[in-house]
């Protein structure tokens, strides 16, 4: 396919998958249970954090997390006392355990109190960065300003250490990307859709290589940059809309 044909093909696949039917089968269903922007952001961040492995398991464990927060994540984060964190004893999703969970709660409360929420924290980090991926790295440093176990740091990816940062890029897509299709929320306006990066995983990476959008074999930060460059040529204002096409082709279609 030439560039025009490829764009037409991918735009068509975006139309197929970027619609509400996508929600019940994806972890994005968790933040869609809420209407308050702060609830959406905090539930989305925590859901994205544990979004690796089996999707059913991700959704089940994210649901457990919301239950443990009385299904009012923003209120819980703003107001919990240290003894309230005992309720997370025994929670585990793969390598994300109860101590990691408690650290995340303390870090999010610190961000709520000092930055007035996740959007401001990401925006502040991004202002001193040359691009959004560097901004994610600076956000990670901000996130772990509280006391924490060193092991917990692995649960927030760092693109400056060559991570694809799939889960944070997915979370930012949820919060920042705006259209009329009702899947992504588009509730943050301090970051730009044009600066977003595709949440690169096994599915999107394999399809991108088949379509000759990506040459690099590893799914790392360098691959994200290569794929970003290709997708911004197809749509410079909304490059990550193609996440729907590439993910859908990888999971639901045969190419």
pLDDT in tens, 118-145: 999 999 999 999 999 999 999 999 999 9
pLDDT in tens, 143-172: 999 999 999 999 999 999 999 999 999 999
* Domain regions of the chain by residue span: 3-251
Looking at the predicted structure, is the pLDDT value of residue 250 above 90?
no
Mean pLDDT of 112-120: 98
211 neighbors 247 (Cβ within 8 angstroms): no
pLDDT given for residue 254 in this prediction: 61
pLDDT in tens, 65-87: 999 999 999 999 999 999 999 99
pLDDT given for residue 255 in this prediction: 63
């Amino acid at each position: 396919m030439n560039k025009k044909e490829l764009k037409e093909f991918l735009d068509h696949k975006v139309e197929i998958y970027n619609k509400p039917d996508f929600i019940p089968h994806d972890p994005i269903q968790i933040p869609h249970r809420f209407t308050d922007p702060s609830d959406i952001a905090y539930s989305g961040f925590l859901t994205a954090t544990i979004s690796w492995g089996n999707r059913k398991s991700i959704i089940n464990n994210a649901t457990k997390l919301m239950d443990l927060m009385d299904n009012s994540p923003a209120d819980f984060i703003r107001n919990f006392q240290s003894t309230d964190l005992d309720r997370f004893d025994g929670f585990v999703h793969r390598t994300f355990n109860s101590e990691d969970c408690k650290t995340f709660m303390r870090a999010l409360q610190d961000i709520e109190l000092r930055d007035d929420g996740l959007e401001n924290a990401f925006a502040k980090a991004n202002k001193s960065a040359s691009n959004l991926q560097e901004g994610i790295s600076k956000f990670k440093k901000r996130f772990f300003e509280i006391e924490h176990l060193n092991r917990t740091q692995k649960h927030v990816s760092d693109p400056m250490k060559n991570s694809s940062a799939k889960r944070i890029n997915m979370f930012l897509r949820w919060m920042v990307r705006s259209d009329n299709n009702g899947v992504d929320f588009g509730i943050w306006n301090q970051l730009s859709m044009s600066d977003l990066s595709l949440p690169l995983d096994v599915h999107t990476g394999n399809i991108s290589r088949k379509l000759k959008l990506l040459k690099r074999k590893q799914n790392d930060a360098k691959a994200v940059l290569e794929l970003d460059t290709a997708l911004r040529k197809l749509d410079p204002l909304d490059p990550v809309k193609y996440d729907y096409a590439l993910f859908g082709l990888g999971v639901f279609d045969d190419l």
